[in-house]
């Protein structure tokens, strides 16, 4: 999906990414694609932490970080990008500083804001792949519809208690998030997933899979989770994949709406 351009890898980069370059399907050309890629990660929390760290370590050239939350002490068990002395600081700002420190070759762009229908198109148009690492339904439907309007790939993951889900939407005429969930559920219990509890290690597993899907898409290697939904159950240590079919009417989107109102639960 990412075009191979006239871009070179320095000797230091060739050494740094040598284990990736050795892989069949990646090689030097694949690493150049990774360096040329622009990926936007929406959400710098539990899922965003491993996604951002692994995309940075892999050498993705431009990484955008969207988040306007401050780090809280209750975030630390699962948001391992941060430390206790970061509490009270803006996640997007802290994350970008740590990522660039870990890999100075990466251009990290901070979007320290709440993603809304009046600004999402302007932001995501500059990126090749959009990573949905959000934790709420309005943001997921907003991202899905915006990605459809701009024909952007959306790598999605979500967590609930001991279970995680990963899929890739809007990839090579594959299904979208609305093909999985045409309409938001109306139960308040479903919308308040944070109150159900989250196993910290689970977000590391699911976020790592999500990051791997992004790298596979960039390099054009392997079987991408498009038209498939991967479910991993940490409690029973089981996993399964479900087939997801495209529904063409879910792609007939030409405007964005008020997603907070759209996803409001029924009383």
- What is the 8-class DSSP label of residue 264? P
**For residue 192, what pLDDT is reported?**
47
User: How high is the mean pLDDT in each 10-residue block of the chain (267 residues)?
Assistant: 73 96 95 97 96 98 97 95 96 97 96 92 97 95 98 96 96 97 74 68 97 98 97 96 97 94 81
**For residue 189, what pLDDT is reported?**
54
**For residue 1, what pLDDT is reported?**
58
**For residue 196, what pLDDT is reported?**
72
Nearest to 112 by CA among 96, 133, 130, 134: 96
**Element housing 110 (H / E):** strand 107-111
- CA distances from residue 86 to 69, 71, 99, 130 in whole angstroms, order as listed: 12, 7, 14, 26
- CA distances from residue 175 to 39, 144, 158, 159, 172 in whole angstroms, order as listed: 20, 11, 17, 20, 9
What domains are defined for the chain? 11-262 (3.40.50.720)
Can you say whether the dihedral through the CA atoms of 29, 170, 229, 119 is positive or negative? positive
**For residue 7, what pLDDT is reported?**
83
Map residue 236 onto helix, strand or coil: coil
**For residue 87, what pLDDT is reported?**
97
Give the global pTM: 0.95
**For residue 191, what pLDDT is reported?**
46
């Amino acid at each position: 999906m990412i075009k191979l351009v006239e871009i070179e890898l320095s000797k230091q980069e060739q050494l740094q990414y040598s284990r990736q370059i050795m892989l069949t399907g990646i090689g030097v050309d694949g690493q150049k694609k990774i360096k040329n890629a622009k990926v936007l990660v929406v959400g710098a929390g539990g899922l965003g932490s491993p996604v951002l760290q692994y995309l940075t370590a892999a050498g993705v050239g431009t990484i955008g970080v969207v988040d306007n939350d401050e780090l809280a002490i209750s975030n630390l068990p699962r948001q391992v990008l941060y430390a206790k002395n970061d509490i009270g600081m803006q996640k997007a700002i802290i994350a970008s500083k740590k990522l660039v420190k870990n890999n100075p070759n990466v251009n990290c762009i901070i979007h320290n804001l709440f993603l809304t229908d009046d600004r999402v198109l302007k932001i995501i148009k500059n990126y090749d792949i959009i990573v949905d690492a959000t934790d709420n339904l309005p943001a997921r439907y907003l991202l899905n519809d915006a990605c459809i309007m701009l024909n952007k790939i959306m790598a999605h993951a979500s967590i609930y208690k001991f279970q995680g889900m990963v899929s890739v939407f809007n990839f090579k005429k594959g299904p979208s998030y609305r093909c999985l969930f045409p309409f938001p559920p109306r139960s308040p219990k479903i919308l308040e997933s944070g109150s159900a509890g989250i196993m910290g290690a689970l977000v590391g597993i699911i976020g790592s899979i999500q990051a791997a899907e992004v790298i596979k898409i960039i390099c054009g290697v392997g079987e991408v989770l498009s038209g498939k939904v991967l479910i991993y159950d940490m409690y029973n240590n089981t996993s399964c994949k479900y087939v997801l079919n495209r529904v063409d009417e879910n792609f007939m989107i030409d405007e964005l709406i008020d997603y907070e109102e759209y996803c409001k639960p029924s009383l």
